[in-house]
Chains A and B, each alone.
Chain A
Amino acid sequence: MKIQVIGSFLVAVLTLAIAPSYAEQSDGQRASTGGAQTLQDVLARQKGIEVDESFRRENLGDPDKAQSINNMLGTQGGISNADVYRGIRYSEVDIKVSNNGPAADVLVQDGGISWLITRATSIRGYAGYGIGGILVALIAFYFTRGRMTIEGGPSGQTIERFKSFERFGHWCLAGSFIMLSATGLLLLFGRAILIPVFGHEANAAIATFSIWVHNNIAWVFMGSLVAIFLMWVAHNIPNKLDWDWLKQGGGIIGNAHPSAQKFNAGQKIIFWMTIIMGASVSVSGLSLLFPFQMPMFAETFALINAVTGSALPAELLPHEEMQLSHLWHAIVAITMIIAIVAHIYIGSVGMEGAFDAMGSGQVDLEWARQHHDLWVEEEEAKAGQAGR
């Protein structure tokens, strides 16, 4: 253990020591190359050390130094082809194109490689291990803890847990989320899994279908997210009971039945996660649905920089905005999928009687007393007042 700690420390120290020395060497060598790229720049880049690109970004030629048209080199002017290409690469020149889009005049954007690599490695890895991990954990939990049953068995009497419009809203959200998750994962893993198994043509057909479903069913998700928020926000305000519920592990471990109102702390966590992350995934999704129309990362980074003093890039090209929207969309969506898989487990096979709440809307009275005792008292008091 100590050797590992010492090893990590040495690696960190060496990295910190080497990085500035590369930068210094580059500056020294650059004078000898007339301001062009040096071997040290290349080596530093290969080692993943950030290189100050300003020597290239700002080296765009000078038209004022152009040779007179009568001179031998006059037709070459003050800007060489290399100057022009550098200007295009770093979007430092005024480009005229006949296209109309806001990104049309950006001819080269090399950040796409980072986006592609991140999507193919980190995002796919996070999705695969995250979703696979939660499935394995839930199967293991099921076989160790077993199904949570109604203590003493069902009473045979029922109470209305959710009205039909609440269930309708829930299932619109759930149905659209499941379809969005499935099609999103097909798009994410198509190239890595579907092409080797089913071939390019099959993947092309699946991807075309998936993107159509994803783009259009998204509106149902966004609409039902708003409906769910309006219907249940009043019942999901955190209070002291939630802390007591959490301290007792919600009764998931052991046989305790901590008191809860209409929604317990676990359900409130799922509610707020769904609302906050659902809103975030919706906004980034809208940014992807309307390419280049809703840039938001540059402004967000500028705000974060102003508050925290960080140095996030506050100027982004239209393509970079789209790449960041896509990555953020995927990260938030995968996190939601992981949480919702656990929610589906506890609402179906994990707990006896739980599915009825969203299935028929009628739950067993004994189940309701064990899991939402204070809500049952409120409902019975309302029924008593109405019966008078």
Chain B
Amino acid sequence: MKTMFTAFAATIVLSFAAYYIMSGMGFSSAEMQSAPSVRLY
């Protein structure tokens, strides 16, 4: 059972990691769909 709960915890950690990595790489919808002249932030 320890392995099962470790896997669930890893799943949560990896999800947050995916969120920050994808945002950091500029894959947000706003950045993909706007022209370079648009100031997003």
Contacts and interface: CB of A to CB of B under 8 A. Distances in A.
A376 to B, nearest CB: 22
Contact of A359 (B4, B22, B32, B35): B4
Interface in A53-104: 98-101, 104
Interface string A146-170: 0000000000000000001001111
Given A101-B33, A290-B32, A219 B15 contact: yes
A171 interface: yes
B27 A290 contact: yes
Given A175-B8, A216-B18, A217-B15, A168 B32 contact: no
Contacts of A170: 7
Contacts of A168: 3, 6-7, 10
Given A100-B35, A290-B32, A358 B19 contact: no
A360 interface: yes
A219 B18 contact: yes
Contact of A175 (B1, B11, B19, B22): B11
A220 interface: yes
Interface string B1-41: 10110111011001110110010000101001111101000
Contacts of B19: 212, 216
B4 to A, nearest CB: 5
Interface string A196-223: 0000000000000000110011111001
A291 B19 CA distance: 17
B25 to A, nearest CB: 12
A212 B12 CA distance: 12
B8 A104 contact: no
A176 interface: yes
Contacts of A360: 1
A171 B4 contact: yes
Given A217-B15, A219-B15, A99 B35 contact: yes
A279 to B, nearest CB: 19
Contact of B3 (A100, A171, A176, A290): A171
A293 interface: yes
Contacts of B32: 100-101, 290-291, 293
B33 A99 contact: yes
A101 B19 CA distance: 22
B18 A100 contact: no
A101 B34 CA distance: 7
B4 A167 contact: yes
Nearest to B27: A290
Contacts of A99: 33-35
When A and B form their complex, which 4 residue pairs have the shortest distance between CB atoms, in order from nearest?
A: A171-B7, A101-B33, A219-B18, A100-B35
21 contacts: A99-B33, A100-B35, A101-B33, A101-B34, A104-B33, A164-B3, A169-B7, A170-B7, A171-B7, A172-B10, A175-B7, A175-B8, A175-B11, A176-B11, A216-B19, A218-B18, A220-B11, A220-B14, A220-B18, A291-B33, A293-B32
Given A100-B34, A175-B8, A217-B11, 9 more contacts: A99-B34, A100-B33, A167-B4, A171-B3, A219-B18, A220-B10, A290-B32, A291-B29, A359-B1
